[in-house]
C-alpha cells in the first residue's frame, strides 16, 4: 500500500511563499526537558488546502466530520514527500488505501474490543427498550386525564363555593333561629360532599398511577445500573487499548500509552492524526518537516468545529504525547528577524506573516517577535512591545528597550500621533479611488477575536484609503488608519458599510480565495523619537 505521496500530487512547491509558521506542535522531551517544535508552515497549509479540494469531490469523506492531517517529510535521500492520516475510523475502517495505518496495538485487543463493543451495543439497546416502555406513555396519558378531571372538578367546586358564600349572606339577612341553623348546615354538608368527591378522585388517580410509577422507577434504577456497567466496560476496554498501543519516537524509543500517561487518558487517545503521522514517520526513517491538521465534514454540537479550518494538537489527547513523539527530532532554528532600525532605546523589526507580535496565553503560542528578541539580544529581557500587528499581518513592529521610551511611545500611539501606512491587496475590484471609512467596532464576545460593526457598543475607528493599482480581479490599496482598533483595516475592508471587499487571504472575514497568507503589510511608520525628539520615518518594501 502506497503511503508516501510526491509533492506534485498536491501543489507546485515553487509557488508557495516561505513565510513564518502559523503554529507549532510542541512538547518537552521527557529526558532533557528541551522544548521541541514542529511547525505548520504556509507550504504544508497549501498542501492541506489541495487535499481539502480532493475531499470535497468524494462523498466518502463528507459522510462524517473528522480531523485530517498531513505531514511533510524528508527521505534519507533528501527528497520531500507527503503522508496523510484521518482520526479514528473512516466510515468504520481503520485501514484505507493511501492513508497511514493506525498505531499498532488495536489488533492485539481486537477480540476483546469486538466482544466489549457487542456488550456495549446490547446495553445500549436494553436502555433504549427501558426508556420506551409502554407504561411510560400509559402513565403520562392517565396522569393527563386525571389532571384534566381534577382541574374541571376544582373549577366546578370553586363556583359552588362562591354560590354558597352568597347564599350564606342572604340567609343571615333573611332567616333567624332554627331555620337559619338548618339552612347553614345544608350548605356545610354540600361543602363536605365536594371534599369527599375530590378525595375519591385523587384516590382513583393514585390507584391507577402507582403500579405504573413503580414499574417506571424500577426501570430507571436498572437504566442507571446499565449506564454504570457501560461506563466500567468502556474504561476497561480503554485501559486494555492504552496498554496495547505502542508509540515510537525519533530516538527509537518505544512506549505504550499507559506507560506514557499512567494517570489515564480520554477515549480516542492514539487515534488522532498527529500521533499516527509522527509514529509512522519515526518507524520508517522519515524526517518530519511540517505538519497540519484540519476539520472536514459536518460538526456535531459537542465538537463545534469549522470545515476547512486548521487546528492544533488537541489538549486532552495529543498534547500530552507531543514531548515523547518529537524526541529525537531536530527542527530548524527560528528564522532571524530582519531589523529595520536599532539604537540604545528602540528596535524596529520587519515582522513576517504568521508570527505573533507577543507570546500568547498557552504553551503552543509562545513563539513571537518579543520572545525571539528576548533570546537573541543581550538586553532582550528588557524589551517591551509598544504596539501589535495581527499574527497574519507582516511589516514594521516597534519595540522599546527601556521603560521611559516605552511610556513615551505608548502615549504617542494613544494620542494618535503615530503616522502609519499599510498596503493591502483586496480580493476584488474597488470602483472608487479614495475615501474615508468611519465605523464603530466591537469585539463579538461569542466569536473572539472576530470584530464587527456595532453602533450601540462599538468604539469609533477611522481609516483613510487610496487605490494604488488595479491588477486583473484584485485591487492594491494603501490604508492610513487614524485609530488602532483590533482588526480595524480587515473589518473596514470586508464590511459592506466600508469597502465591501475582503483583504486577500482573510478567511476570518470571509475571503474564499485560496491565498497562502493575509495580504496586509505595515509599510511605513513615522513618529517622534522618545529620547532625541527627532522624527523617524521607517519604511519597508511590501513583499507581495
- The domain locations on the chain are 5-104+248-326, 124-240, 339-539
Pick the CATH number of 339-539 from 3.40.470.10, 3.30.2350.10, 3.30.70.1150, 3.40.50.720: 3.30.2350.10
In the block, residue with C-alpha cell 480516542: 268
Catalytic residue flag (residue 433): no
Q: What is the DSSP letter of 66?
A: E
Q: What is the mean pLDDT of each run of 10 residues along the chain (544 residues)?
A: 80 52 86 84 89 85 84 88 90 84 71 80 94 94 94 94 92 90 91 94 94 95 95 80 79 80 59 91 92 86 76 84 87 71 94 89 74 76 91 95 94 93 96 94 83 90 96 94 94 94 92 87 96 95 93
Q: Are 56 and 347 in contact (CB under 8 A)?
A: no
CA distance 25 to 204: 68
Residues 448 and 460 sit within 8 Å (Cβ to Cβ): no
| Residue 341: closest CA among 478, 479, 525 | 525
Please identify which of the residues 271, 367, 390, 506 carries the catalytic annotation.
390
SS3 45: helix
Contact 352, 20 (CB under 8 A): yes
Per-residue pLDDT at 396: 97
Return the pLDDT at 377: 75
Alpha-carbon gap, residue 409 to 386, rounded angstroms: 7
Look-up of cell digits 472576530: 450
Alpha-carbon distance of 125 to 145, in angstroms, equals: 31
Q: 334 — phi, psi (to 5°)?
A: -55, 145
DSSP character for 503?
B
The rounded distance, in Å, linking the Cα atoms of 279 and 289 is 14
Q: Grid coordinates representing 140?
A: 403520562
SS3 127: helix
Grid coordinates in use for 306?
Answer: 469549522
Assessment of whether the complete model's pTM goes beyond 0.95:
no
Buried residues in 79-94 as b, exposed as e (16+ CB within 10 A): ebbbbbbbbeebeeee
The pLDDT value recorded for residue 59 is: 74
Amino acid at each position: 500500500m502506497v503511503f508516501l505521496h510526491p509533492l506534485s500530487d498536491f501543489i507546485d512547491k515553487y509557488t508557495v511563499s516561505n513565510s513564518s509558521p502559523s503554529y507549532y506542535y510542541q512538547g518537552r522531551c521527557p529526558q532533557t526537558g528541551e522544548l521541541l517544535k514542529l511547525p505548520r508552515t504556509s507550504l504544508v497549509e497549501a498542501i492541506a488546502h489541495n487535499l481539502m479540494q480532493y475531499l470535497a469531490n468524494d462523498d466518502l469523506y463528507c459522510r462524517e466530520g473528522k480531523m485530517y492531517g498531513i505531514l511533510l517529510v524528508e527521505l534519507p535521500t533528501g527528497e520531500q514527500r507527503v503522508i496523510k492520516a484521518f482520526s479514528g475510523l473512516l466510515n468504520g475502517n481503520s485501514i484505507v488505501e493511501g492513508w497511514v495505518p493506525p498505531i499498532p496495538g488495536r489488533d492485539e485487543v481486537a477480540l476483546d474490543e469486538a466482544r466489549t463493543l457487542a456488550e456495549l451495543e446490547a446495553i445500549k439497546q436494553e436502555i433504549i427498550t427501558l426508556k420506551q416502555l409502554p407504561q411510560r406513555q400509559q402513565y403520562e396519558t392517565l396522569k393527563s386525564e386525571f389532571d384534566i378531571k381534577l382541574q374541571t372538578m376544582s373549577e366546578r367546586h370553586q363556583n359552588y363555593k362562591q354560590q354558597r358564600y352568597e347564599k350564606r349572606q342572604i340567609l343571615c339577612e333573611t332567616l333567624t333561629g332554627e331555620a337559619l341553623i338548618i339552612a347553614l348546615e345544608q350548605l356545610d354538608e354540600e361543602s363536605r360532599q365536594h371534599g369527599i368527591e375530590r378525595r375519591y378522585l385523587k384516590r382513583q388517580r393514585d390507584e391507577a398511577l402507582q403500579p405504573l410509577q413503580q414499574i417506571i422507577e424500577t426501570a430507571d434504577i436498572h437504566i442507571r445500573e446499565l449506564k454504570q456497567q457501560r461506563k466500567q466496560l468502556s474504561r476497561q476496554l480503554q485501559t486494555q487499548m492504552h496498554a496495547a498501543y505502542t508509540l515510537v519516537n525519533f530516538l527509537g524509543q518505544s512506549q505504550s500509552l499507559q506507560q506514557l500517561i499512567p494517570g489515564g487518558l480520554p477515549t480516542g487517545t492514539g487515534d488522532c492524526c498527529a500521533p499516527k503521522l509522527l509514529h509512522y514517520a519515526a518507524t520508517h526513517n522519515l524526517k518530519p518537516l511540517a505538519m497540519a491538521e484540519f476539520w472536514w465534514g459536518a460538526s456535531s454540537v459537542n465538537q463545534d468545529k469549522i470545515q476547512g479550518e486548521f487546528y492544533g494538537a488537541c489538549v486532552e489527547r495529543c498534547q500530552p504525547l507531543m514531548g515523547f513523539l518529537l524526541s529525537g527530532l531536530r527542527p530548524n532554528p527560528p528564522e532571524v528577524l530582519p531589523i529595520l532600525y536599532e539604537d540604545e532605546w528602540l528596535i524596529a523589526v520587519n515582522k513576517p506573516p504568521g508570527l505573533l507580535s507577543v507570546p500568547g496565553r498557552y504553551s503552543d503560542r509562545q513563539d513571537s517577535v518579543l520572545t525571539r528578541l528576548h533570546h537573541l539580544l543581550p538586553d532582550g529581557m528588557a524589551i517591551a512591545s509598544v504596539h501589535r500587528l495581527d499574527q497574519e499581518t507582516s511589516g514594521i513592529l516597534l519595540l522599546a528597550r527601556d521603560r521611559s521610551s516605552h511610556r513615551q511611545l505608548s502615549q504617542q500611539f494613544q494620542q494618535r500621533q503615530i503616522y502609519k501606512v499599510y498596503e493591502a491587496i483586496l480580493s476584488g475590484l474597488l470602483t472608487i479611488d479614495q475615501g474615508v471609512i468611519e465605523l464603530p467596532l466591537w469585539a463579538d464576545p461569542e466569536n473572539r477575536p472576530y470584530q464587527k460593526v456595532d453602533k450601540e457598543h462599538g468604539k469609533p475607528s477611522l481609516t483613510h484609503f487610496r487605490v494604488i493599482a488595479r491588477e486583473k480581479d484584485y485591487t492594491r490599496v494603501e490604508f492610513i488608519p487614524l485609530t488602532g482598533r483590533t482588526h480595524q483595516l480587515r473589518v473596514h475592508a470586508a464590511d459592506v458599510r466600508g469597502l465591501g471587499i475582503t483583504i486577500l487571504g482573510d478567511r476570518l472575514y470571509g475571503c474564499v480565495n485560496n491565498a497562502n497568507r493575509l495580504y496586509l503589510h505595515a509599510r511605513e511608520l513615522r513618529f517622534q523619537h522618545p529620547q532625541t525628539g527627532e522624527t523617524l520615518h521607517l519604511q519597508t518594501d511590501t513583499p507581495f
